């Protein structure tokens, strides 16, 4: 069953019915179901299947941390609060329970038996031999027990603060404590520093790898923590809390200081979900629900570890290349010559880099050349997510040490990267860089780097724009587009945008770039409307869009109206999409597909054909209300015909022909795998990502 929300009637539409938009939160969960399908696929290497299961867990954690609180608040209040109601919470909980049940069924019934066949085994206490039990006991006494502090609950020892997503045990005890009291419930918090999976010594004569989870290890020795008493019931448990930082930027005097204080409290926000072992007694489950103030629907009984995200530790400990994807190394960008100066190359024309098929290393090389070039006077850059131990940050610091003017627009509110970005800001400031934090009330999500160089007595600018982050790690896993240019009009726009972000003066009229929250939203809708007008006049009109999410109702409504005017629309939307496709009488001209592959689809490409003329834009923004109206985002045009042809071929047409990793959105709001081809002969499976990896890379592609 699909879940719909009703919008207002479309203005100016001869079809005056309301649009049954798909529910955003259910669409996010549907995306995770598509990701989880990779954990089922027999053509995916075994350890990678396990990793996809871990990715789903990580995504669900973030879903609860960010999206569920208003639903639960409405449930507690037993009233409607905007889109959030008791019913919305109940239906959402039901769908998550279904997903979690499928997740653990894959884990227990498919992946664990397959791992065992490959000689990788998680050994429970009941199946450990005497030597393994001695090893586990010794490790517990030596490495674990000294870090555990059981807390027996009584009026002087209230229920402890339990951090977000931390591993804990609850136990029920017989007998009396040292003071003769019958406090029967105790809590054991497991420090995050302890590894979640341990490899036991090999069994003599066996080539199998034997592992034990930290939860199983502790569970086997719970009685050792309560001498003189008996553990009668126990369960591991984990609570997920609301973790979206809320800071009133209009009131605070120093955003960095305010965020630091908020980060200290993030781990103890509103409780939203409680995970316990499948065998947890009703008494202990009810005790925990009452402690966290949660309804029954928030309880998840899981037959396995309460945190499958930590399976990554197990995956990383297994050195069996045959069970992983073949390594892939992106090629040096085809438009660049190794060793050639970027500045010399960009005087000849713009350069497009399709990551990770082409290596992000070229972007770092561009910045490195700018840092080392004595003719470069200034470097300005936005920083959203750069990853741990960022080479980019060190290059910017080196630029300051070499006497260059460095300006960094650091987004402190990049979700779950706040602490890292605060640290980067402080390190840049410590060497003399000019650090600003963008605009109050807006996130700076635009990705841009501007280099100013003195050439023959004049200043010339060079720039890098991107659909993705300046993060070398994710650049190997995300599909993104980097754009290098020396175009005078384009680089002048970026200079004005940096000036606007630093000074907060009025933004000057831009030549080429579209910027949110000022122009981008309206400009995209205007282009959709222009295609609709052309179609009504019988002219050639087409819309092809690739993005990560489409959840903005005005933009979705414009697309529906355009489709009813006769515009053929193809949407390649990886994640949440509220726009129903192929609905009779409403959206027959709209097709929506989602591609879930080895790489995370992240590039944003917007193509509008109006009266036979094509206009193509790249952007940092998805078609979401927050991106268009509450963030600083950029879109820039690609006018070079050959580059535009390349983008359409690689980012759109190749994906429209994918019949292995693509999913199609049906009229009922459900996704189904793209058909492998019609007719008597089934078409060969085609993966867009595999095609591009083979085109650019040298590695074997699975």
User: Catalytic residues, which ones?
Assistant: 445
CA-wise closest residue to 598 among 464, 700, 494, 453 = 700
> Any idea how long the chain is?
702
Distance CA 438, CA 450 (A): 16
Distance CA 434, CA 304 (A): 50
State phi, psi for 634 to the nearest 5 degrees. -130, 150
Q: Would strands 662-665 and 631-638 be described as parallel, antiparallel, or unpaired?
A: unpaired
For the beta sheet containing 151-152, the strands, ordered from the edge strand earlier in sequence to the opposite edge, are 151-152, 185-189, 168-173, 231-241, 271-277, 299-302
DSSP 374-436: TTEEEEEEEES---SS-HHHHHHHHHHHTT-EEEEEE-TTSTT-HHHHHHHHHHHHHTT-EEE
Peptide bond preceding 567 in cis form (omega within 30 of 0) = no
Run of H or E including 569: strand 568-573
Distance CA 356, CA 364 (A): 14
Distance CA 51, CA 56 (A): 9
The set of long-range contacts for 507-516, using a CB threshold of 8 Å and a minimum separation of 24, is 512/487, 512/636, 512/637, 513/634, 513/635, 513/636, 514/617, 514/619, 514/634, 514/635, 514/636, 515/446, 515/632, 515/633, 515/634, 515/635, 516/621, 516/627, 516/628, 516/629, 516/631, 516/632, 516/633, 516/634
- Would you say 318 and 444 are in contact if contact means Cβ atoms under 8 Å apart? no
Distance CA 358, CA 693 (A): 9
C-alpha angle 294/298/304, rounded to 5°? 125
CA 312 → CA 18, 197, 437, distances in Å? 45, 9, 34
Distance CA 630, CA 81 (A): 22
CA-wise closest residue to 581 among 19, 69, 14, 190 = 19
Distance CA 357, CA 330 (A): 5
Beta bridge partners of 235: 170
CA-wise closest residue to 561 among 9, 103, 87 = 9
Distance CA 619, CA 641 (A): 18
What is the three-class DSSP state of 231?
strand
Q: Which two tokens stand for residue 578?
A: 């509220």
Tokens 């995209």 sit on residue? 524
Question: What's the chain's Rg over C-alpha atoms?
Answer: 28
Four-residue CA torsion sign, 106, 112, 113, 119: positive
Distance CA 345, CA 339 (A): 11
Distance CA 346, CA 23 (A): 45
């Amino acid at each position: 069953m699909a879940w719909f929300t009703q919008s207002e009637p479309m203005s100016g539409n001869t079809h005056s019915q309301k649009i049954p938009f798909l529910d955003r939160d259910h669409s996010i969960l549907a995306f995770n179901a598509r990701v989880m399908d990779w954990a089922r696929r027999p053509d995916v290497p075994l350890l990678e299947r396990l990793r996809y299961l871990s990715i789903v867990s990580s995504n669900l954690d973030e879903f609860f941390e960010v999206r569920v609180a208003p639903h639960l608040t409405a449930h507690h209040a037993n009233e409607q609060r905007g889109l959030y109601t008791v019913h919305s919470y109940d239906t959402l909980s039901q769908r998550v329970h279904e997903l979690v049940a499928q997740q653990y069924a894959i884990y227990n019934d498919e992946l664990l038996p397959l791992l065992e066949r490959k000689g990788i085994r998680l050994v429970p206490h009941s199946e450990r031999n005497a030597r393994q039990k001695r090893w586990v006991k010794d490790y517990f006494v030596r490495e674990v027990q000294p870090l555990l502090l059981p807390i027996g609950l009584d009026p002087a020892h209230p229920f402890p603060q339990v951090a977000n997503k931390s591993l804990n045990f609850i136990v029920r005890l017989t007998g009396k404590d040292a003071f003769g009291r019958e406090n029967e419930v105790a809590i054991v918090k497991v420090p995050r520093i302890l590894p979640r999976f341990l490899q036991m010594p090999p069994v003599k004569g066996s080539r199998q790898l034997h592992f034990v989870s930290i939860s199983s290890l502790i569970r086997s020795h719970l009685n050792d923590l309560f001498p003189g008493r008996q553990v009668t019931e126990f369960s591991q448990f984990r609570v997920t809390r609301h973790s979206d930082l809320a800071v009133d930027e209009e009131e605070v005097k120093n955003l960095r200081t305010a965020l630091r204080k908020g980060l200290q409290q993030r781990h103890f926000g509103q409780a939203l979900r409680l995970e316990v072992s499948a065998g947890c007694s009703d008494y202990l489950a009810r005790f925990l629900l009452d402690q966290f103030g949660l309804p029954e629907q928030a309880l998840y009984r899981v037959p396995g570890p309460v945190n499958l995200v930590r399976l990554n530790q197990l995956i990383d400990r297994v050195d069996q290349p045959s069970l992983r994807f073949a390594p892939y190394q992106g090629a040096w960008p085809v438009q660049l010559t190794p060793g050639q100066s970027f500045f010399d190359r960009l005087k000849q024309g713009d350069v497009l880099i399709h990551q990770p098929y082409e290596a992000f290393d070229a972007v770092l090389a561009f910045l490195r050349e700018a840092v080392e070039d004595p003719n470069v006077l200034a470097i300005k850059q936005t920083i959203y997510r750069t990853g741990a131990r960022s080479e980019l940050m060190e290059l910017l610091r080196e630029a300051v040490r070499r006497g260059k003017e460095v300006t960094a627009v650091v987004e402190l509110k990049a979700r779950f990267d706040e602490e890292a970005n605060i640290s980067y800001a402080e390190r840049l400031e410590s060497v003399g860089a000019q650090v600003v934090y963008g605009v109050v009330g807006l996130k700076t999500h635009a990705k841009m780097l501007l280099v100013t160089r003195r050439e023959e007595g004049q200043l010339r600018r060079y720039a890098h724009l991107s659909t993705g982050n300046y993060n070398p790690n994710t650049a190997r896993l995300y599909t993104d587009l980097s754009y290098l240019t020396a175009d005078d009009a384009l680089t002048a726009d970026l200079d004005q945008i940096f000036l606007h972000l630093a000074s907060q003066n009025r933004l000057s009229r831009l030549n080429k770039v579209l910027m949110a929250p000022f122009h981008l939203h309206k400009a995209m809708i205007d282009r959709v409307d222009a295609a609709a007008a052309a179609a009504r006049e019988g002219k050639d009109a087409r819309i092809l869009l690739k993005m990560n999410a489409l959840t903005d109702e005005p933009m979705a409504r414009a697309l529906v109206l355009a489709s009813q005017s006769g515009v053929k629309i193809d949407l390649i939307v990886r994640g949440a999409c509220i726009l129903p496709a192929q609905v009779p009488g409403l959206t027959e001209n709209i097709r929506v597909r989602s591609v879930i592959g080895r790489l995370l689809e992240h590039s944003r490409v917007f193509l509008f054909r109006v009266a036979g003329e094509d206009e193509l834009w790249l952007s940092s923004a998805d078609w979401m209300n927050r991106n268009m109206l509450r963030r600083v985002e950029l879109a820039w045009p690609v006018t070079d015909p050959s580059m535009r042809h390349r983008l359409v071929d690689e980012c759109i047409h190749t994906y429209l022909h994918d019949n292995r990793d693509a999913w199609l959105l049906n009229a009922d709001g459900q996704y189904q795998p793209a058909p492998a081809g019609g007719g008597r002969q089934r078409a060969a499976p085609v993966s867009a990502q595999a095609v591009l990896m083979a085109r650019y890379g040298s590695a074997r592609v699975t």
